[in-house]
Amino acid sequence: MKITRSAWLVSLALLTGAAKEPAMKNVPAVETVAGLIEFAPPAGWSRTAYSNTGGIDLVVAFERGMDRLVVQVFGAKGSFHKDPTDFFAGPGATTMGRAPEKKGEALVAGKPLALFRRRFPLLEGGPHDSTPGTPKMGAETFCILPPFKDGRFIVLSLQRESPVPDIERTGEKAWKSFLRGVRRSKVPGSP
């Protein structure tokens, strides 16, 4: 009996489970984040929700062009960052190992919070491209809400994924409006 190549590939896919892969579920991330803080999504921005570290570190992101507003929850048991000090020492807050720059403060959820800025290398070109010199860098401004009593904390950030500044400051305007609208939810055990 002769098996055609396409029949063989279909059989292999069925045996390995590739054809049965379930759709990614991202609703729980949104519900949990919304259970900790309340905010109005920026109008006209696309929304993505996912989790890192095996579903523990929750992320909700809003994107428009080269700008991203991001809400990240850390500090749960098994989280990539156990507390804000741990976050500040990691790659999510540093510029290629250097500490972030303090860039003023903003009133968020009724409290003045320090704003920090870091830069990050942009991924450009293919995996085999080798361009000597300094990589092109994007910029991120972020702040950290005070931790909840259970240890979880929230990082809010604006990422500009381009080395070119936005002369219309669309992302920056959305970021300032977003921060003004953030409210901590009434969660048992929160300050």
pTM listed for this prediction: 0.76
pLDDT for 11 equals: 44
Write the DSSP string, 83-151: SHHHHHHSTTTSBTTBPPEEEEEEEETTEEEEEEEEEEE---S-TT----SPPPEEEEEEEEPPPPTTS
pLDDT for 167 equals: 84
- The amino acid sitting at 184 is R
Q: For residue 59, what are the contacts with CB-CB under 8 A and spacing of at least 6?
A: 29, 48, 49, 50, 51, 52, 70, 71, 72, 73
pLDDT for 112 equals: 96
Strands 57-64 and 46-52: antiparallel
- The amino acid sitting at 77 is K
pLDDT in tens, 35-74: 788 888 888 899 999 988 688 899 999 999 999 999 999 9
pLDDT for 136 equals: 83
Counting Cβ atoms within 10 Å, is residue 6 exposed (0-12), middle (13-18) or buried (19+)? exposed
Low-confidence residues of the chain: pLDDT under 70: 1-32, 34, 53, 124-132, 187-191
Tell me which DSSP letter residue 41 carries: P
Tell me which DSSP letter residue 34 carries: H
Q: Is residue 63 within 8 Å of residue 71, measured between CB atoms?
A: no
Counting Cβ atoms within 10 Å, is residue 181 exposed (0-12), middle (13-18) or buried (19+)? middle
Q: Which fold has domain 22-124+131-184?
A: Protein Transport Mog1p; Chain A (3.40.1000)
